[in-house]
Amino acid sequence: MRLTTGAVALALALTAAPACADAPWMNPALSPDARADALEAKLDEAQKISLLHGRFALAAYYGAFAGDAPPSIPGAIGSSGYVPGIPALGIPALQETDGGLGVSDAMDEAWNTGATPLPANLALAASFDPALARATGDVAGQEAWRRGFNVLLAGGVNLTRDPRGGRNFEYLGEDPYLAGTLDGQLIAGIQAQHVVATLKHFAFNDKESNRYADDALIDEASARESDLLAFELAIEGGAPASVMCAYNLVNSAYACGNDHLLNDVLKHDWRYPGWVMSDWGAVHSAKDALAGLDQESGEDYDAQVFFGTPLADAVKTGEIPQARIDDMVHRILRSMFATGLFDHPPVKTPIDYQADGLAAQHEEEEGLVLMKNDNILPLTKDTPRIAVIGGYANVGVLSGGGSSQVIPDVPAQLLPTVFMGEGLAGNHTRAVIDPDAPLAAMRDLAPNAQFRFDPGNYPSAAAQTAKWADVVVIFARKWQTESQDVPDLTLPDGQDAMIEAVAKANPHTIVVLETGNPVQMPWLNDVAGVMEAWYPGGNGGHAIANILFGVVDPSGHLPMTFPRDETQLPRPILSGQDAAGQVTSTDYNIEGADVGYRWFAARGLSPLFPFGFGLSYTSFGFSHLVLSDQHGLTASFDVANTGKLPGAAVPQLYLTARNGAHTLRLVGFSRIPLAPGETQHVTLTIDPRLLADFDAKADDWQVAAGSYSLSLASSAADIDETGSISLPAARIAP
């Protein structure tokens, strides 16, 4: 926390909190639970109920004409959510902002004064770097705090069950161990800044089509071994103060009124002490409180303020016990104490855009994935003629849409898009180009080269420009957004034809993808290089240029499988489309826990690019794998940089067989920077739940006795060395 003592004094003075003497809950030496207990004793029923529901803080704005300044809801600083505090008791208001990629604009470009756009979380996932996730959380949490917010609605960890999902760019890929581990660190970083993070969207909100009324069907064991495992690991790693339940149904009960998910799994099995807030407009009854919901968010979007008078009335009639109300209040207050909202209230402080921009750049440099390199990369700085084509590369880099949309602190190009999605985020109809142009950054690194830019709108013109050049760099883009999935895996707007024409004109062509999901590449054999930059963030142009010219070694590895086409998917046709609000269903039992690479392995399918795949400008070797169960299950091995350039290896460890039966699960990974010729010895500890089956009847994890094969690999499809170990039977509580 970068705070001066003066700022702290100012903060404390501003909150005018009661002195400790007559407010024992202000004593930081007490535990969060003890402080909450002491405070609750002072609350009357109306005050308790007032803490259980909140508004979308730009609510009236969406009734007014777009572009108006947001109306002032007394006490709210604006943005996504506001729950009034109780100043006389020192309870701060909850000032809530989105989102998962930095301090977002609550879908309102006109209002936001700017923040640092972080790259898509797919870049963070591709880094396979928990320390980077923590650092990214620090940056996001710090900017939220400095803007006056004490809740950042970040921490999304829904798995990529469908590579057409509109919000996959906000999440961390298809594997529960990778996603849950990184999300936990992201949350820990945010909360270290005394800002509440919200693990979301609990659960199975894995696509956007008909998200308000799609019923996710999945058996218990599969659920626990996939999406729920990601949430469980994130809770263990990051202790999120809050969990946001999702819009959709799960096994025919709305997620925010789902007794099994919220009470049985989250609060009983996982002993979760924090509070469950709803998504905005996701509450259907006051009785959702009985199912485990603790707070109604964005009440403006519900049929009524269920957690206001209806909740109070239900207590009076005995339909909802007072004890439940007290528990709801306790969960909120103890989590506010635990995160420091009472002791370290936000102090409006200028944001260090330069430092945070460099942090975003570093994240993108670690998360960009080099997918093909036929001796064309890295570019040399004395390349005479370089053509740059498409992707608005002369202006900036693409970002994703919806509640996570961050508006940078410098003027950004807003592009009209051709879609209006459903509901809240449907109003967000413009794509934001983060203004760090790859073209300018490339010119900076190769000042003697001649550059020509072509927007890529006409294949013939683009081909003409390509003919002139020694090397061509095409930027291909695919905009994704909350509230809408994409119908297929193709690049839109004729980009495939343009790439084909350019590659035909000049085979020394590199394609840089700015996408929020996997895409098909019909031109793959005709180009010399491909890299996936995801949504590159506020310094994305510099990050991409640094990798193109070898200033930084590419070290990203795919956090999601790139299919050849939709026929390889569990649901070739996306479910829930054109449902017009009717309840539809998505049968996740088709793949069960075999999400992504596990589905491909179980069916012997060969994807375009496998999970975990990523090239470097150097090369690495893995050796000397040793498995041990002496002090918990560990895998030790050596990683060597066998090339001539510095780089970062990402060895992956997979469970590949159990008692001879083939399986495939990521059970360990590490990111190891290595100088040329350097070797490091690595030891990974393996969580036994990753080897286990969830026993729904016994409600625990079962590790069967027998032989386990664990393989070192550079991707889910590239196994290097396998070892095996015999393990005794074990049962592990959830």
Q: Which of residues 153-172 bind ligand GLC (CB under 6 A)?
A: 153
Nearer to ligand GLC, 59 or 672 (CB): 59
Rounded to a whole number of angstroms, the minimum distance from the CB of residue 434 to ligand GLC is 20
| Size of the residue set binding ligand GLC (CB under 6 A) | 10
Nearer to ligand GLC, 200 or 508 (CB): 200
The number of beta carbons lying within 10 Å of the beta carbon of residue 430 is: 17
Q: Which of residues 390-409 bind ligand GLC (CB under 6 A)?
A: 403
Binding to ligand GLC by residue 296, rule CB under 6 A?
Answer: no
Residue ranges of alpha helices (H) inside 244-302 are 259
From residue 86 to residue 115, the character string flagging contacts with ligand GLC as x (rule: CB under 6 A) and all else as - is ------------xx----------------
Binding to ligand GLC by residue 424, rule CB under 6 A?
Answer: yes
The number of beta carbons lying within 10 Å of the beta carbon of residue 110 is: 12
- Please give the C-alpha separations between residue 725 and each of 441, 668, 704, in angstroms, as whole numbers: 50, 16, 13
The number of beta carbons lying within 10 Å of the beta carbon of residue 705 is: 10
Nearer to ligand GLC, 403 or 715 (CB): 403
Nearer to ligand GLC, 273 or 423 (CB): 423
559, amino acid identity: P
Per 3-state DSSP, the chain is made up of helix, strand and coil in percentages (nearest 5) of 30, 25, 45
Rounded to a whole number of angstroms, the minimum distance from the CB of residue 197 to ligand GLC is 11
Peptide bond into 201 cis (omega under 30): yes
Smallest CA-to-CA distance from 491 within 516, 472, 471, 458 is with 516
Nearer to ligand GLC, 96 or 138 (CB): 96
Nearer to ligand GLC, 246 or 601 (CB): 246
Binding to ligand GLC by residue 280, rule CB under 6 A?
Answer: yes
- Read out DSSP for 484-548? B--SSSS-STTHHHHHHHHHHH-S-EEEEEEESS----TTGGG-SEEEE--S--TTHHHHHHHHH
The C-alpha atoms of residue 274 and residue 337 are separated, in whole angstroms, by 11
How far is Cα of residue 643 from the mean position of the Cα atoms in its chain?
33
Q: Which of residues 19-38 bind ligand GLC (CB under 6 A)?
A: none
Q: Which of residues 678-717 bind ligand GLC (CB under 6 A)?
A: none
Binding to ligand GLC by residue 278, rule CB under 6 A?
Answer: no
Rounded to a whole number of angstroms, the minimum distance from the CB of residue 281 to ligand GLC is 7
Rounded to a whole number of angstroms, the minimum distance from the CB of residue 57 to ligand GLC is 10
The C-alpha atoms of residue 492 and residue 418 are separated, in whole angstroms, by 12
Binding to ligand GLC by residue 140, rule CB under 6 A?
Answer: no
CA quadruple 294, 300, 302, 305: dihedral sign: positive
> Could you tell me the two tokens for 340?
């420091």
Binding to ligand GLC by residue 279, rule CB under 6 A?
Answer: yes
Rounded to a whole number of angstroms, the minimum distance from the CB of residue 77 to ligand GLC is 15
The C-alpha atoms of residue 650 and residue 229 are separated, in whole angstroms, by 22
Smallest CA-to-CA distance from 559 within 159, 156, 137 is with 159
Q: Looking at 314, 389, 425, 601, which residue binds ligand GLC (CB under 6 A)?
A: 425
Rounded to a whole number of angstroms, the minimum distance from the CB of residue 581 to ligand GLC is 15
Rounded to a whole number of angstroms, the minimum distance from the CB of residue 347 to ligand GLC is 24
Helix (H) or strand (E) holding 693: strand 693-695
The C-alpha atoms of residue 669 and residue 672 are separated, in whole angstroms, by 10
Binding to ligand GLC by residue 485, rule CB under 6 A?
Answer: no
Nearer to ligand GLC, 80 or 142 (CB): 80
Which 8-state DSSP code applies to residue 657? E
From residue 344 to residue 383, the character string flagging contacts with ligand GLC as x (rule: CB under 6 A) and all else as - is ----------------------------------------
Rounded to a whole number of angstroms, the minimum distance from the CB of residue 153 to ligand GLC is 4
Please list, in sequence order, all residues whose beta carbon lies within 8 angstroms of the beta carbon of residue 551, skipping any fewer than 6 positions away: 445, 545
Nearer to ligand GLC, 261 or 512 (CB): 261
Nearer to ligand GLC, 427 or 490 (CB): 427
Binding to ligand GLC by residue 80, rule CB under 6 A?
Answer: yes
Q: Looking at 48, 200, 331, 372, which residue binds ligand GLC (CB under 6 A)?
A: 200
Nearer to ligand GLC, 213 or 639 (CB): 213
Straight-line distance from the first to the last Cα atom of the chain, in angstroms, rounded to the nearest whole number = 34
**Residue 262, SS3 per DSSP:** helix
Q: What angle do CA 474, 477, 479 make, to 5 degrees?
A: 175
Rounded to a whole number of angstroms, the minimum distance from the CB of residue 423 to ligand GLC is 7
Rounded to a whole number of angstroms, the minimum distance from the CB of residue 554 to ligand GLC is 31
Binding site residues, ligand GLC, CB under 6 A:
80, 98-99, 153, 200, 279-280, 403, 424-425
